């Protein structure tokens, strides 16, 4: 069974920068996994942020960016705002099936 692992929690100061990563148990994450990233706040549905590694949706703030970093998918938040405090999930494609990451709780403190 494929496992996609994220950092359980990260803390960042307002205005700072934080990078979340997404690792696959099958090996390096590539563009062929078409990484998606989502933000979820308590009691709300997930909101799409990034698709196909580094493409933003029309509603995605410019401070969010996606990339591949050291064999993992990565989501970088630059100039963090208090409203960025949330759970973040990655999603990877494995030839006919998708697997969500374990999620990262980002605290802005």
Which residues form the interface with another protein (CB under 8 A)? 1, 34, 36, 38, 40, 45-48, 51-52, 55, 57, 89, 91, 93, 96-103
CB of 46 to another protein, least distance (A): 6
**Block residue for tokens 């799409």:** 48
Residue 3 or 28 having the CB closest to another protein: 3
Residue 51 or 65 having the CB closest to another protein: 51
Residue 80 or 92 having the CB closest to another protein: 92
CB of 35 to another protein, least distance (A): 9
Q: How far is 83 from 96, CA to CA, in rounded Å?
A: 34
CB of 36 to another protein, least distance (A): 5
For 19-31, letters b (16+ CB in 10 Å) and e give: bbbbbbeeeebee
In 3-state terms, what secondary structure has residue 31? helix
Distances (CA, A) of 17 to 20, 77, 93, 98: 10, 6, 27, 28
Q: How far is 83 from 12, CA to CA, in rounded Å?
A: 12
Residue 45 or 109 having the CB closest to another protein: 45
CB of 10 to another protein, least distance (A): 16
């Amino acid at each position: 069974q494929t496992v996609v692992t994220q950092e359980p929690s990260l803390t960042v100061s307002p205005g700072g920068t934080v990078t979340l990563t997404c690792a696959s148990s099958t090996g390096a994450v590539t563009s062929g996994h078409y990484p998606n990233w989502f933000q979820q706040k308590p009691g709300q549905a997930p909101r799409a942020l990034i698709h196909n590694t580094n493409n933003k949706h029309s509603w995605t703030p410019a401070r969010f960016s996606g990339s591949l970093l050291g064999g993992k998918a990565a989501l970088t938040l630059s100039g963090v705002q208090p409203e960025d405090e949330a759970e973040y999930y990655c999603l990877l494609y494995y030839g006919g099936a998708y697997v969500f990451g374990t999620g990262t709780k980002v605290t802005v403190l």
